[in-house]
Structures are given as C-alpha cells and as structure tokens.
Amino acid sequence: QVQLVESGGGLVQAGGSLRLSCAASGRTFSEYNMGWFRQAPGKEREFVATISWNRRNTYYADSVKGRFTISRDNARNTVYLQMNSLKPEDTAVYYCAAPGRPFRSLASEKYDFWGQGTQVTVSS
C-alpha cells in the first residue's frame, strides 16, 4: 500500500519561503517519478512540479518556474518542494502525488496515489 505524507505547510508573508516534504512508503521509492500539485479554494487541482525517478529531469508549471524547486532524496524516500518568493496566489492545499508504474517518461506520467495535502497560506 503506497502512502504519501506531506508536511511543511503553514502561513507565510508574501516574499517568504517554505519547504514542503513528502515521505513515501509502501514500495521502492527510487523507481517512480514524483509530483506536486495544488488546489486553491474554488479552483481545480493544478500541476506544480514533477521530478523523474533518477532525478535527471524536472518540469514546472509556468506560474512557479524560477521560484519553486523540486528535489528528492531516494535514500530517505522523500520528495521536497522548495518555494521561494511566495505570492498570495500561491495559497492552496499542496498535494504530493505518485504514479502507479515505475520508470515512466515524465511527459506521459499519470498519478494514481495522493497524499492528504498540506495547507500553504501566503498573506499580502
């Protein structure tokens, strides 16, 4: 059973930083791509960032490019999202996501497992 547990959310002023963590368990973490998504109140869930299983490739939503950095520590079964220069429009519940199949291309990835989410609130 795949389990994803996010942490690190909170309240921060605009321009500040937060680092989200997602601890994964239940299978060989290093074989799977990982992703971060977010959902703001009244909006649909949207893609934020993804990282390949071997850490060679990352992709970001245009809205966070240059401000957010996704990384992973395969020895700790953990994926991170470093968020800098935060804006009020970054306010959302942030979700960690994992696919059902290993060693896939990021371009065609689909996510089957989700964490419970962690709230990020950016005040102006």
How far, rounded to the nearest angstrom, does the alpha carbon of residue 43 sit from its chain's CA centroid?
A: 18
SS3 assignment for 19-75:
EEEEEEECCCHHHCCEEEEEECCCCCCEEEEEECCCCCCEEECCCCCCCEEEEEECC
Q: Using CA atoms, how far apart are residues 67 and 60, in angstroms rounded to an integer?
A: 10
Q: How far is CA 117 from CA 8, 21, 31, 124, in A?
A: 10, 11, 23, 23
Q: Using CA atoms, how far apart are residues 37 and 10, in angstroms rounded to an integer?
A: 16
82 falls in which pLDDT band (50, 70, 90)?
Answer: very high
Is the confidence at residue 6, as pLDDT, over 90? Answer: yes
Is the confidence at residue 108, as pLDDT, over 90? Answer: no
Instruction: Give 21-73 pLDDT, tens digit per residue.
Output: 999 999 999 999 999 999 999 999 999 999 999 999 999 999 999 999 999 99
Q: Which pLDDT belongs to residue 25?
A: 93
Mode of pairing for the β-strands spanning 18-25 and 10-13? unpaired
Contact 110, 1 (CB under 8 A): no
Q: Using CA atoms, how far apart are residues 44 and 41, in angstroms rounded to an integer?
A: 8
